[in-house]
Chain A
Amino acid sequence: MNSNGKSWSPYVAGALSGLLSIASVLVAGKYLGASTTFARVMGMIERSISTTLVDTPYYLKYTLAVDWQFMFVFGIVLGAFLSSRLDGSFRVQLVPDMWERNFGSGGIFRVVVAFVGGMIAVYGARFAGGCPSGHGLSGLTQLSISGFIAAACFFAGGMISANILYGRRR
């Protein structure tokens, strides 16, 4: 099914991650999610510059400190590092393969688009109230109306911009 023999079927890994999320809700009472962490970290950074910066309704909604989700996101970095080192798929790479095939190996263009895209994405994720983890996985798991709507819009928006960027390329 996969070209790389060391990878796992997405069905198996996905199902196991489903069991993980059940365990997380049972033990810690926490549904998986990631994008709030970016707001929380930014709040902590802005607070260290000036406390007046975080005296705004959005940051006041949150406790600006390292929490469960911050550790979860940090853990994802470690888990991916561990997995990729163990099976030899770890690879330091600036320009993704598909990008390079279509736009060349120049790093600056990729870096700029990654930064701008990331900025737009998390603006939208916080706006919508979650990302593909919080709205997508956890929302659809709970049969939440907001999850179905947001997930559909995530894919709709993504198809628009990815197809504009790539057009009819490979």
Chain B
Amino acid sequence: MKLLLGLITGIVFGFLLQKARVLRYDKQIGALRLKDMTIVKFMLSHIMVAMVGIYLLQGFGMVNLSPKATVLGANILGGLIFGLGWGLVGYCPGTAAGALGEGRIDAIFAMLGMLVGASLFAHTYPWLKATVYTWGAFGKITLPPLLGINQWLIIAVLLVVYAMFLRFLERKQL
């Protein structure tokens, strides 16, 4: 049942990514070159809706949060490494799969590289675990408890900030 749900969720997600045209190399690199912010519009719209929905349902005790651990060393170094590769390949792991679906052959080579990258990581992890993963490890923390501010106040502020940023992008016609 879980597998079927995963498949259905993926099909709908892939459909929406393709409809918004965010799977394309040109859109991803366009965002990184600050020329076309379509993917940022998609991501922020997703986040604005999901943030409100997930925190509402969590308030009713219907869902649990599952934040990833904050480890400054790994989040920052790994994040920068991801970015450097992303700027070259022009697809992220999810969009490479979708790009393949809409016929982009280069996405196959991207995904083969991604598999090799995963293997390289798995085999260097023991060394990283003893070093980088101990730098700034704070566990699974989220913004509200860290700031000691009510979550809905933070969500309201973020909604305004995100909306203003999107309005700025529209004004600049990005």
Against B, the Cβ 8 Å flags (1 = close, 0 = not) of A89-113 are 1111111111100000000001101
> Shortest CB–CB separation between residue B77 and chain A, in angstroms?
7
Whether A11 contacts B82 in the complex (CB less than 8 A), given A34-B93, A78-B11, A159-B34, comes out as no
Asked whether A122 and B85 contact (CB < 8 A) given A25-B54, A27-B5, the answer is yes
Check: B68 CB closer than 8 A to any chain A CB. Answer: yes
Binary contact track A131-143/B, C-beta < 8 Å → 1, others 0: 1111111011111
A139 touches B68 (CB 8 A): yes
A84 touching B103 by the CB < 8 A rule? Answer: yes
Q: Which residues of B contact A43 (CB under 8 A)?
A: 122
Which of A69, A118, A144, A163 interacts with B142 by CB under 8 Å? A144
Query: How near does chain B come to A39, taking the closest CB pair, in angstroms?
Result: 4
A51 within 8 A of B: no
Interface residues on B, range: 35 or more
Contact call A129/B101, Cβ cutoff below 8 A:
no
Residues from chain A with a CB closer than 8 A to the CB of B24 are 96
Interface SS of chain B: helix
Please state if A73 and B82 are interface contacts (CB–CB under 8 Å). Answer: no
Assess whether A96 is in contact with B104, with CB atoms less than 8 Å apart: yes
Query: Dominant SS at the A interface?
Result: helix
Which residue on chain A has the smallest CB distance to residue B23? A80
CA distance A128 to B138 in the complex (A): 14
Q: Which residues on A are within 8 Å of B, measured CB to CB?
A: 2, 4, 7-32, 34-35, 37-39, 41-43, 45-46, 56-59, 66-84, 87, 89-99, 110-111, 113-137, 139-166
- A to B CB contacts below 8 Å, 29 in the list: A8-B19, A11-B45, A13-B20, A17-B12, A18-B47, A22-B57, A38-B111, A39-B118, A42-B122, A69-B6, A71-B10, A79-B10, A80-B15, A83-B102, A94-B104, A98-B26, A113-B89, A119-B85, A119-B114, A120-B85, A123-B120, A124-B78, A124-B80, A125-B78, A127-B74, A133-B92, A143-B155, A149-B76, A161-B88
